[in-house]
A and B are shown apart, each in its own frame.
Chain A
Amino acid sequence: MAKIKKGKIILTISIGLTAFILVMVMFTQFKTVEQTDITGIETMREAELRTELASWKSRYEDANAKIEETEQKIDEYTEQINSNNDLTTLLSEELEEAKMYAGYTNLTGPGIIITVSDTDTAQIEAYDLITLVNELKNAGAEAISINGERIVANTDITDINYIYIVINTNSTDNGVLRISSPYTIEAIGNQKYLESAITLKYGYIDQMEANGKSINYTLEDNIYIEKYNGDLSFKYATE
């Protein structure tokens, strides 16, 4: 009898001990989970997925609108051709539109004005501006300028020995376009998207401030962005 009792006691103790250890492990895990900002990750994933879907949806809608526009153009051209009119007006309109997309026209619209500047402890580098421009493009910016210089397809922003920054190197044959702090970045587009592109948790503003750099922004309804002053024609690329 005593032997059985002893066995029972050992069994109970070991089950109890195992249960205790398990509970401890569970608490440690709960704590770890609590520390990793799980809601942050979830909302980010959701936001990303939504952005991705929204982006393809908007491209799909753009494509359909463009199909309609092209069909309409075909009709217009056909009408002009059939009545022996010249096509100058229609072609000029199309050319104006293409030039607008290329950056050859002054534009206005709603958007964001961001100012980043050097501080006593940190200097703005080309990298900071390249990152910002990329974020704004990703948020659908339709036109961007830095200190009045229009961002176009072949824009570069480059540090020169970390002393100063140049922009749009290929827009001019004489010298370079130097820009210096404070840098004013203007972007036309959806204000909400543009704003959230930089105010996101651990996003651009947080990172700039963590690096000791100064950044401010305002949303404006009537931003004016000047056209590109260079020539984008190809010298080496042909169709």
Chain B
Amino acid sequence: MKERYENSYATLQKKESELNNLIDSATANDSTSLSLSEELEKTNSILGLSDVHGQGIIIRISDGVAPTNTIDLSNYIVHDVNLRMIVNYLFNAGAEAISINGERIVSSTAITCIGNTIKVNDEKVTTPFEIKAIGLQEKLYGAMTTQGQYLYVLANTTGISIDSIEKSDSITVEGYTGIYNFEYARVAE
């Protein structure tokens, strides 16, 4: 089923770029429709539908190596809740775009766990985790490294390995590869 989705998604992307080219060429000489199409592009960008670039931080965390004879490995494993909380604190620090192992966090994103598998946007993600966030670098970095903050606590109270927290001036956060669709919600008058 997943393969069939990916095939359809590829077709959809082709159609959408065809449509965008059509709009671009037609609005080039009309200021009203040009400003509309620019606003549309901006809104699509907010929806996470395209790759975005900018300054920010990259966090790398992974399952820790438990000493032999450890009975409960749970303390050494990155759990879905850990990823949810990191994302929450990055947004709290003003992150504008976040991805986990290439999966963009959008308004409908759930980060869940089934058995031993973590899923983001219904896609499996596994250790090591790379969390990229675009936003004001110093603020994001501070929120992740300051004593008492979530990631700091995680590093000091669990066996999870915080491999690196790196500032970067040119991060690319991948676009969302899902589809927005409302079946139940309607615009209220």
> Knowing A63-B9, A63-B179, A78-B22 touch, does A88 contact B36 (C-beta < 8 A)?
yes
Q: Confirm or deny: A37 has a beta carbon within 8 angstroms of a beta carbon on chain B.
A: no
Residue-wise interface mask of B (1-42) relative to A, using a CB-CB cutoff of 8 A (1 in contact, 0 not): 110110011011001101100110011001011001101111
With beta carbons under 8 angstroms apart, the residue of B8, B11, B107 that contacts A103 is B107
**Taking the nearest CB of chain A, how far is it from the CB of B35, in angstroms?**
9
Q: Confirm or deny: A123 has a beta carbon within 8 angstroms of a beta carbon on chain B.
A: no
| Chain B contact patch, size range | 35 or more
What residues of chain B lie closer than 8 Å to A87, measured between beta carbons?
Answer: 23, 26-27, 30, 33, 36-37
What residues of chain B lie closer than 8 Å to A188, measured between beta carbons?
Answer: 184-185
**Taking the nearest CB of chain A, how far is it from the CB of B129, in angstroms?**
17
What residues of chain A lie closer than 8 Å to B122, measured between beta carbons?
Answer: 52, 55-56, 59
Chain-B contact segment, one of A9-17, A19-27, A211-219, A230-238: A230-238
What residues of chain B lie closer than 8 Å to A131, measured between beta carbons?
Answer: 81, 84
Q: Closest residue of chain A to B56, judged by CB?
A: A236
What residues of chain A lie closer than 8 Å to B84, measured between beta carbons?
Answer: 130-131, 134
- Provide the bound-state CA to CA distance between A153 and B56, in Å: 18
Q: Confirm or deny: A119 has a beta carbon within 8 angstroms of a beta carbon on chain B.
A: no
**Taking the nearest CB of chain A, how far is it from the CB of B34, in angstroms?**
9
**Taking the nearest CB of chain B, how far is it from the CB of A3, in angstroms?**
52
Asked if B91 and A74 sit within 8 Å, CB to CB, the answer is no
Asked if B52 and A238 sit within 8 Å, CB to CB, the answer is yes
Chain-B contact segment, one of A65-73, A177-185, A199-207: A65-73
- How many A-B residue pairs lie within 8 Å, measured between CB atoms? 210
- Provide the bound-state CA to CA distance between A91 and B182, in Å: 19
Q: Confirm or deny: A148 has a beta carbon within 8 angstroms of a beta carbon on chain B.
A: no
What residues of chain B lie closer than 8 Å to A137, measured between beta carbons?
Answer: 108-110
Main secondary structure of the interface of B (DSSP, over half): mixed
Q: Closest residue of chain A to B176, judged by CB?
A: A153
Most buried by A among B84, B136, B179: B179
**Taking the nearest CB of chain A, how far is it from the CB of B9, in angstroms?**
5
* Residues 81-135 of B at the A interface (beta carbon under 8 Å): 81, 84-85, 88-89, 91-92, 94-97, 105-112, 114, 122, 134-135
What residues of chain B lie closer than 8 Å to A115, measured between beta carbons?
Answer: none
- Provide the bound-state CA to CA distance between A80 and B26, in Å: 10
Residue-wise interface mask of A (89-108) relative to B, using a CB-CB cutoff of 8 A (1 in contact, 0 not): 00110111011111101111
Asked if A95 and B39 sit within 8 Å, CB to CB, the answer is yes
**Taking the nearest CB of chain A, how far is it from the CB of B54, in angstroms?**
4
A residues neighboring B (CB under 8 Å): 48, 52-53, 55-57, 59-60, 62-67, 70-71, 73-74, 77-78, 80-81, 86-88, 91-92, 94-96, 98-103, 105-111, 126-127, 130-131, 134-135, 137-138, 141-143, 151-158, 169-170, 188-190, 224-225, 232-239
Q: Can you show 23 pairs from A to B with CB atoms below 8 A apart?
A: A56-B2, A56-B4, A60-B4, A63-B12, A64-B8, A67-B12, A73-B19, A87-B27, A98-B40, A101-B182, A107-B182, A109-B184, A134-B110, A137-B110, A142-B108, A153-B106, A155-B91, A155-B107, A157-B88, A158-B89, A189-B184, A233-B42, A238-B54
In the A-B complex, the 10 residue pairs with the smallest Cβ-Cβ separation, listed nearest first, are A138-B110, A63-B8, A56-B1, A156-B92, A237-B52, A91-B36, A106-B188, A156-B91, A98-B43, A137-B110
Given contacts A60-B5, A153-B105, A238-B54, 15 further A-B contacts (CB under 8 A): A59-B179, A70-B12, A81-B26, A87-B27, A91-B40, A98-B43, A101-B107, A109-B182, A154-B96, A156-B89, A170-B91, A234-B45, A236-B54, A236-B55, A238-B53
